[in-house]
Amino acid sequence: MKTLLPPFVHAYPAPAILVGCGTVEKPNLITCSWFGTVCSEPPMVGLAVRESRCSYELIREYREFSVNIPHDSDLRAVQFCGAVSGRTNRKFTELGLTPVACPPLRSAPMIDEFSLALACRVKHELHLGSHDLFIAEIVAVHGHEQPDHPLHRPQLDPEHQMVYLDGRYWNLQAIPE
């Protein structure tokens, strides 16, 4: 028999991503797992960030960000960017990562060493409580194209992507059919 429990949100996996914000000259990164698809036409995502975060200020100021999809081999960067502040740390430099332009965005950098990045422009903001939700249009995707894919989709490598669940990171494996 099930027991009635108080409400909470950490009962399902959420994608672990690195968000690039600020500028190429003064870049910042933040690890986020409160991220997801909210619309397919136009392609839009939702990103929830606490107002107290340095990245929150940069996303509000520049109205754009990049979503960098890490592989499980990038776990150190994901953990580091989720544990230290951009106010006191130069995350790109400390991790040996390269901030590069993310066209057509005017300012927000993407991570050169990562194989997949989404260029996002903020369209709406919604104050929810502990976090604000940025709803952003994906205006470009930077990645390696799958040569056989009829829609020219990027190579996703889902078995190496990460999700966050109950304080731990997990990678994704296909379920045999």
Residue 145 lies in a domain: yes
Between these two residues, 52 and 172, which has the higher pLDDT value? 52
The pLDDT-based confidence of 149 (bands split at 50, 70, 90) is confident
Q: Is the pLDDT of residue 156 over 80?
A: no
Q: Taken in order 133, 135, 139, 141, is the CA torsion positive or negative?
A: positive
Distance CA 140, CA 154 (A): 11
DSSP state of 50: -
Residue 165: strand, helix, or coil: strand
Q: Which residues pair with 172 in a beta bridge?
A: none
Residue 127 lies in a domain: yes
Q: Is the pLDDT of residue 153 over 80?
A: no
* Average pLDDT value for the chain: 93
pLDDT of residue 52: 96
Residue 177 lies in a domain: no
pLDDT of residue 80: 97
Q: Is the pLDDT of residue 11 over 80?
A: no
Q: Is the pLDDT of residue 64 over 90?
A: yes
Q: Give the tens place of pLDDT for each residue, 105-146.
A: 999 999 999 999 999 999 999 999 999 999 999 999 999 777
- Using DSSP bridges, classify how beta strands 17-22 and 27-32 pair: parallel, antiparallel or unpaired: antiparallel
Q: Which residues contact 79 (CB under 8 A, 6 or more apart)?
A: 31, 169
Residue 2 lies in a domain: no
Number of domains composing the chain: 1
The pTM of the full predicted model, rounded to 2 decimals, is 0.92
Distance CA 20, CA 109 (A): 6
**Which of 159, 171, 145, 134 has its CA nearest to residue 49?**
134
Residue 5 lies in a domain: no
Host domain of residue 98: 14-171
Distance CA 116, CA 162 (A): 13
CATH of the domain at 119: 2.30.110.10
Residue 20 lies in a domain: yes
Using a 10 angstrom Cβ sphere, with 0-12 exposed, 13-18 middle and 19 or more buried, the burial of residue 156 is middle
pLDDT of residue 83: 96
Residue 8 lies in a domain: no
Backbone angles phi, psi at 77, to 5 degrees: -65, -40
Residue 50 lies in a domain: yes
Between these two residues, 32 and 10, which has the higher pLDDT value? 32
